[in-house]
Structure 1
Amino acid sequence: MEPRRIYLVAGELSGDILGAGLMRELNARHPDVEFRGIGGPRMQAQGLNSRFPLETLSVMGLVEVIKHLPELIRVRRTLREEAIAWQPDIMIGIDAPDFNIGLEKQLRETGITTAHYVSPSVWAWRQGRVKKIAKAVDGMLTLLPFEAAFYLRHQVPVAFVGHPLADELPLENDRSSTRQSLGLDEQAPVLALLPGSRSNEIRFLGATFMQAAEQLCQQHGALQVVIPAASAQRRDEIAQLLETFPVLGERAVLLDGQAREAMVASDAVLLASGTAALEAMLCHRAMVVAYKMAPVTHWLAKRLVKTSWVSLPNLIAQQSIVPELIQDDASPEAIAEQLSALLSDDPGRHALEARFASMHQALQRNASRRAADAIDALVAGQPLAAQDDSIDGC
């Protein structure tokens, strides 16, 4: 059975990108397929009839969610009624789990096949949510292998489709030419310093990162430091901080964006935990992950988070291959010590780069194609287990 009608609901820009890639694959396979739901300009360009603007579901923070709750309830009711009337072959929620999983459950109870694309962090905290997910979806599509393993343990049909960022980034990159393009010395060591893209990350991490880099500059006389700024506002905040670190200020190159280029050019990366760690891994660069947060937030996180690691490279590898320095452990001295060890150990660093390249290859699966394979299987009533041929590939 080929899908003729597909209902998709994406809630933010990243979901619009994922949804558009999936729709492109499905359009190529099934020229007569129709799409309805919610999506942004990329999904609409692939033929989605979007009932509401993408931004409708992009509500962040407890207060904002409460403020918009009546509208969100109205939107979900409208989508539910329209989907039931249209009778799609499948409904696919793309990320936005707090909104989509409830909608998926309501539609599945009426007999509509449902799937969720991008696992929520149920493996890290509030693991009891997996019971609700099991009732809501006929299949979960995950980007990372350890997520698929979690769902298999809980007997939820799952397909590991790979990560689109792994598809986007090349398996080989050129450190030398990237240094040339950034105006860096090709022979001297380079540290990429990424304190984060949000203002509160600069507030909690900026001075600590720069103090650590200042110490490194004193220990490694030829060290070059590149600092990509995510926005004009972050650039101003970073530039202001640099004024208090004269040695680092003389060595640092402040970039507008170009985080990926900074990583490729580097010998080592200092970064906050998050997607940047995955990107550094996919650039095949050694790194130290350090993170600080508000004391109350850290107190709660220690009690809620069930994983042994916070960085995606360690979670994917299921072992400590990247140093993680969290909260009180993230002192300038400890960070500088870890980075100095990386910069001084050429064989160890090169071995880690080779390990990251292998992990990259395991994640590089053509995620959109594999996601479309999973959707076709669900519509045809076939099991998803056959779609997941290597969740242990990393």
Structure 2
Amino acid sequence: MKYYLIAGEASGDLHASRLMRSLKSYDSEVEFRFFGGDLMAEVGGKPVRHYKELAYMGFVPVLLHLPTILRNMRMCKKDILAWKPDVIILVDYPGFNLKIARFVRKNYCIPVFYYISPKIWAWKEYRIRNIKRDVNELYSILPFEVPFFEQKHNYRIHYVGNPTVEEIETFRVRYVEQFVDFCERHELDNRPIIALLAGSRKQEIKDNLPAMIEAARHFEDYQIVVAGAPSVNKKFYDRFIAAAPVKIVSDETYQLLSNASVALVTSGTATLETALFNVPQVVCYATPVPMLVRFAFKHIIKVNYISLVNLIANREVVPELLADRFKISNIANELYKILPLQPGRAAMLESYRSIRSQLGDEIAPDNAARLIIHRLSEVQMHEE
């Protein structure tokens, strides 16, 4: 089978590469061609464009790079028609991928599958029309997306499991380092750790980290350790930690969470990772024009929460301090409630167990690969 994959971001490169490995294990005649990244290239196949030439976020960056984006889209369309794949597999990145899905439906009679569904439950719900029209199969990694698509929009999808669950389970089985050894290796002392996960992009770190540090400094019996993002140079953090009693551990977030007592975390996958490591957390997210953002959450944005933990639980398991609630005093107060021996800690850990149960034990890329190959075999039988 000839598989054409499109991933437009670093996370998509990771998830697509794992799906490709699973497809290879089930299909001995697999051929890959893709828009993606280095991880996908390691699996094999023909890279056409690197995601770094696609990944522009925000109105101004997209506007400035619009000619490049349009050129890449034209190239992608021509390349699909020239290579004649058996299936298109889109990975997240809806702004680009849904346009490709529409093009394929109008010009080429092959199935379009979507792995890691667009988050239209949070924003741009009208895109359901495009998905229904242009996407043949949709594979979700979040269990709450099933009722959203199937009950609210009458569109059948497949929940294949969450890849973060398997990644963390695999890491925890292999990780044997003791707390004292971790601290010695990173020149830390032996006090319990408050971990700060301030995001993976420089703007996020700039907006969130100073307040996180000031809130954590209220607790002198703890040491503060920042999780340095792999894509951010360690020197970038110096302006925030130089005058504070703070250490940084770069590119070892899982190791840090394995040894942390509590955490302050920005939104995103990091909130789910923290929960799966059973570390109580406070979610912090600074925003420009806080009151306007609060208005948007009440009247425009379609979800009640920003963290995956609360979205999966469909209730507030972890406190979310964003927009007008993002204040140092609020962060410190919520952090105190989840320290050891405080009542909020036990309640949060119990809720974590329920969330873990909801996610299940399916290995997402393996499950998705089996479903994809089964569906393609049905298509082939129908054509014959």
Q: TM-score, normalised by structure 2?
A: 0.85
Does the 8 A contact of 1:126 with 1:304 survive in 2? no
In the other structure, the counterpart of 2:160 is: 161
Give the fraction of aligned pairs with identical amino acids, expressed as a percent. 31
**Higher relative contact order, structure no. (Cα contacts within 8 Å, ≥ 6 residues apart):** 1
Instruction: State yes or no: 1:360 paired with 2:361.
Output: no
Q: CA deviation at 1:335?
A: 1.6
Does the 8 A contact of 1:138 with 1:157 survive in 2? no
Q: CA deviation at 1:150?
A: 1.6
Q: 1:30 to 1:351 in 2, by over 3 A?
A: same
Distance in 2 separating the partners of 1:359 and 1:16: 26
Q: Secondary structure at the match of 1:343?
A: coil
Q: 1:336 to 1:45 in 2, by over 3 A?
A: closer
Per-residue CA deviation, residues 183-239 of structure 1 (Å, 9 max, x unaligned), is 3666x543222333433334333332222222233xxxx323222333313321222
**From 212, 224, 237, the counterpart of 1:209:** 212
In the other structure, the counterpart of 2:382 is: none
Distance in 2 separating the partners of 1:256 and 1:80: 39
Q: 1:56 to 1:309 in 2, by over 3 A?
A: same
**From 103, 107, 111, the counterpart of 2:104:** 107
Per-residue CA deviation, residues 85-108 of structure 1 (Å, 9 max, x unaligned), is 443221111122111111112212
Which structure 1 segments of 5+ residues have no match? 243-248, 383-394
Q: Secondary structure at the match of 1:380?
A: helix
Which structure 2 segments of 5+ residues have no match? 380-384
Distance in 1 separating the partners of 2:318 and 2:67: 44
Q: 1:102 to 1:300 in 2, by over 3 A?
A: farther
Q: Secondary structure at the match of 1:145?
A: coil
Q: Counterpart of 1:165 in structure 2: which amino acid?
A: T
Q: 1:30 to 1:259 in 2, by over 3 A?
A: closer
Within a 5 Å distance, the mapping from 1:47-66 to structure 2 comes to: 47-66=44-63
Structure 1 runs (4+) greater than 4 angstroms displaced: 171-176
In the other structure, the counterpart of 1:70 is: 67
Q: Counterpart of 2:256 in structure 1: which amino acid?
A: A
In the other structure, the counterpart of 2:236 is: 234
Q: Counterpart of 2:29 in structure 1: which amino acid?
A: D
In the other structure, the counterpart of 1:284 is: 278
In the other structure, the counterpart of 1:268 is: 262
In the other structure, the counterpart of 2:288 is: 294
Q: Counterpart of 1:200 in structure 2: which amino acid?
A: Q
Q: Secondary structure at the match of 2:338?
A: helix
Moved more, 190-199 or 16-25: 190-199
**From 90, 93, 104, the counterpart of 1:93:** 90
Q: TM-score, normalised by structure 1?
A: 0.83
Q: Secondary structure at the match of 2:33?
A: strand
Q: CA deviation at 1:358?
A: 5.0
Q: 1:22 to 1:295 in 2, by over 3 A?
A: same
Q: Counterpart of 2:224 in structure 1: which amino acid?
A: V
Q: CA deviation at 1:156?
A: 2.3
Instruction: State yes or no: 1:337 paired with 2:333.
Output: yes
Distance in 1 separating the partners of 2:25 and 2:322: 46
Does the 8 A contact of 1:113 with 1:378 survive in 2? no
In the other structure, the counterpart of 2:179 is: 178
Instruction: State yes or no: 1:141 paired with 2:142.
Output: no
Q: CA deviation at 1:286?
A: 0.7
Q: CA deviation at 1:277?
A: 1.0
Q: CA deviation at 1:288?
A: 0.8
Q: CA deviation at 1:48?
A: 1.9
Distance in 2 separating the partners of 1:223 and 1:55: 39
In the other structure, the counterpart of 1:118 is: 116
